[in-house]
Amino acid sequence: MKLILEPQYCSVLQDFVREAAALVFDFDGTLAAIVQDPTEAFMRPSTARLLRYASLEFPCAILSGRARQDVINRIVGIPVKCTVGNHGLEWDPPRPEFEKYREQVKGWLPLLTKLLKPLRGVELEYKGFSISIHYRKSEAPERVFLAIGDAISQIGAIDIIGGKEVVNCLPHGAPTKGEALAEICNLLNCRKVVYVGDDVTDETAFRTKSYYELLGIRVGCKRDSHAGFCIQYQYEIDELLKALLLFRNK
């Protein structure tokens, strides 16, 4: 992958944002560092300040696997145009056609809770439209990961998206982040978008093909990613935001 902040590639970023372009960010692992306790994931003050400046210069949006209100609580005072939660299933106003997914996920909860209860270090996060199973605190992550897979297999048709010591459970056939990104661009009336994400859940956005021009930037370089560019470390999000602001005002 190409390092977007390297001098030879900065011109790509500059040319891309010279015209009106939207900025869309994942939250965990992108705007905020991955932490042991997901409830403690917050942006550094420097990142929050830069994102606020960026939101005044660009149409900005957040597209996260977290519940929408959870994300909103973590970006207080930052005037993003759009916040979408649950991997693209949770919008404002709510989408009536997605309520069937909420009911489906609610039905998984009792059995998954029962099946996962014996696993030490596992935490189940129910988010309405999806469930995340965290095993960062497990002392035997490989064994626990397999046990989580066995539990999920007893539920039925579930789409599983892996992550950084988390298993995300979504309704089978539900829209993806890629489809949500296309809708965000439509809402913001943008034909160009910079999307920044860090995980498996973001790959559908990186590889989506639609009427808009996409510049995909992955946090953490990975050879098989569909993003064309990357930054190496999460803390470099500040440098990326600074570059976007600099090039926007040139």
Average pLDDT, the chain: 93
Which active-site residues does the annotation give?
26
For residue 114 the two structure tokens come to 């029962």
Q: Is the pLDDT score of 33 beyond 70?
A: yes
Contacts for 219-225 with beta carbons within 8 Å, 24 or more apart?
Answer: 219/29, 219/30, 220/29, 221/1, 221/3, 222/1, 223/1, 225/1
pLDDT for the residue numbered 1: 86
Whether the pLDDT of residue 209 is over 80: the answer is: no
CATH of domain 106-171: 3.90.1070.10
Beta carbons within 8 Å of 213's beta carbon, 6+ residues apart: 16, 191, 192, 193
- Residue 12 in this model has a pLDDT that exceeds 70: yes
Distance between CA atoms of residues 242 and 247, nearest Å: 9
210 pLDDT tier (thresholds 50, 70, 90) = low
pLDDT of residue 17: 87
Quote the CA–CA distance of 94 and 174 in Å, as a whole number: 15
Mean per-residue pLDDT for 118-137?
94
CATH number of the structural domain 2-89+175-248: 3.40.50.1000
The fraction of the chain above a pLDDT of 90, given in percent, is 82
Average pLDDT value for residue range 78-100 = 96
Q: Whats the size of the chain, residue-wise?
A: 250
Residue extents of the structural domains in the chain: 2-89+175-248, 106-171
Q: What confidence tens digit (pLDDT) does each residue in 224-236 have? A: 999 999 999 999 9
Sheet with 192-197: strands ordered across = 2-3, 229-231, 213-219, 192-197, 22-25, 60-63, 82-84
Give the per-residue pLDDT at 208. 79
Query: Lowest-pLDDT range, 138-142, 177-181, 209-213, 240-244?
Result: 209-213
Tens-place pLDDT, residues 98-120? 999 999 999 999 999 999 999 99
Nearest of 243, 234, 232 to residue 2 by alpha carbon: 232
pLDDT above 70 for 211: no
Give the whole-angstrom CA distance, residue 245 versus residue 49: 12
- Gap between the Cα atoms of 184 and 81, Å rounded: 9
